[in-house]
């Protein structure tokens, strides 16, 4: 089976592509430069140099592929629409990558109790309204003869399997802790994020490609932690003794920018991947986030004395 995949040099896309190649699929992967083309070629991906804005290229690649995986952007509407238009009436599969921050609110590091599963109705925050509207349109495109599937990962952790080893939130927290000498969360850090190991996530992409019915949405999650717990593990791992530091939203905004500080670091995103387990037989088995920080791929070799 020939896959066209966007985001081939990225954390999710590179990992999914590597897993697919191991299963005997062939992958043509979109990259933005010759340098990235060399990196992904070394992994066995056939690179296509271009941009998500190049609709002629996306149309050509989608038409030539047996299935498309969109892992470059959860938000780029024109690219998704172009590929869906190319696939219309073909019955082919389009797997889109969204993210569980769609259920988040700007909670400033405070706890929020609401837990969402794949079917829980919700109104998105203004920051995620466009992403949710795109998701709805992608699912609706199943009525025009495309087997559309959405995977919405929660906080992803673990070493990427492709050219990019690093995800977002955990490396950002570790980097900030190293730079400032303390593991910092926003406010009390009681806000909770569900999380999923990259090695488990790529299995879900494979299962979805093989078996997901048209027009289906799957959260990806295998546990949850308060940001304070994540920072405690980082503090232990770096040899800071387990203590953590509260920081203001303004401070967090300086480090990460306004959107990420509010919508990915200070929010709650508590989801349950019921559908992936029940309908696709997904059975995550990788180490927990805390284990991976303290004893796995993030474990420091340069601990403070």
CA distance linking residue 295 with residue 141, whole number of Å: 43
Of 271, 265, 263, 274, give the one whose Cα is nearest residue 104.
263
Is 153 near ligand NAP (CB under 6 A)?
yes
Q: How many CB atoms lie within 10 A of CB 287?
A: 16
Residue whose CB is less far from ligand NAP, 195 or 240: 195
> In this chain, which of 82, 93, 135, 167 binds ligand NAP, going by CB under 6 A?
167
> In this chain, which of 3, 4, 5, 12 binds ligand NAP, going by CB under 6 A?
12
Instruction: Determine how β-strand 93-97 pairs with β-strand 244-247.
Output: unpaired
Which position's Cβ is nearest ligand NAP?
Answer: 10
Tell me how far, at minimum, the Cβ of 6 lies from ligand NAP, in Å.
6
- Residue pair 158/296 in contact by the 8 Å Cβ criterion: yes
State which of positions 77-106 bind ligand NAP (CB under 6 A).
Answer: 97, 99
Stretch that binds ligand NAP, among 86-94, 141-149, 164-172, 233-241 (CB under 6 A): 164-172
- What is the separation of C-alpha 156 from the centre of its chain, rounded to a whole number of angstroms? 6
Residue whose CB is less far from ligand NAP, 197 or 240: 197
What is the enclosing helix (H) or strand (E) of 276?
Answer: helix 274-280
> Which pair of tokens denotes residue 135?
């998701």
Stretch that binds ligand NAP, among 119-127, 161-169, 178-186, 290-298 (CB under 6 A): 161-169
Residue whose CB is less far from ligand NAP, 155 or 261: 155
- Residue pair 101/255 in contact by the 8 Å Cβ criterion: no
User: Helices then strands (H, E): number in the chain?
Assistant: 12, 14
- Residues near ligand NAP (CB under 6 A): 7, 9-13, 30, 32, 36, 51-52, 71-74, 97, 99, 153, 155-156, 164, 167-168
């Amino acid at each position: 089976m020939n896959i066209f995949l966007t985001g081939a040099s990225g954390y999710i896309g590179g990992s999914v592509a590597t897993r697919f190649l191991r299963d005997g699929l062939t992958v043509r992967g979109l990259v933005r430069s010759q340098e990235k083309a060399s990196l992904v070629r070394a992994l066995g991906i056939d690179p296509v140099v271009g941009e998500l804005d190049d609709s002629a290229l996306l149309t050509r690649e989608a038409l030539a592929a047996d299935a498309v995986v969109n892992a470059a952007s959860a938000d780029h509407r024109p690219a998704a629409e172009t590929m869906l238009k190319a696939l219309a009436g073909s019955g082919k599969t389009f797997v889109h990558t969204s993210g569980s921050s769609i259920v988040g609110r700007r909670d400033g590091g405070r706890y929020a109790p609401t837990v969402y599963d794949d079917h829980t109705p919700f109104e998105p925050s203004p920051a995620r309204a466009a992403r949710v509207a795109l998701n709805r349109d992608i699912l609706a495109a199943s009525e025009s003869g495309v087997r559309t599937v959405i995977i919405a990962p929660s906080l992803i952790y673990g070493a990427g399997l492709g050219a990019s080893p690093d995800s977002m939130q955990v490396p950002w927290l570790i980097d900030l802790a190293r730079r400032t000498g303390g593991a910092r969360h926003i406010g009390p850090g009681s806000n909770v994020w569900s999380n999923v190991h990259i090695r488990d996530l790529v299995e879900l992409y494979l299962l979805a490609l093989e078996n997901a019915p048209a027009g289906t949405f799957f959260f990806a999650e295998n546990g949850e932690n308060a940001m304070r717990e994540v920072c405690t593990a980082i503090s232990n791992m770096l040899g800071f003794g387990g203590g953590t530091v509260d920081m203001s939203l303004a401070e967090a905004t300086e480090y990460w920018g306004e959107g990420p500080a509010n919508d990915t670091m200070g929010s709650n995103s508590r989801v349950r991947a019921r559908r992936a387990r029940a309908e696709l037989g997904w059975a995550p088995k990788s180490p927990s986030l805390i284990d991976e920080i303290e004893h796995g791929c993030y474990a420091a070799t340069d601990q403070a004395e």
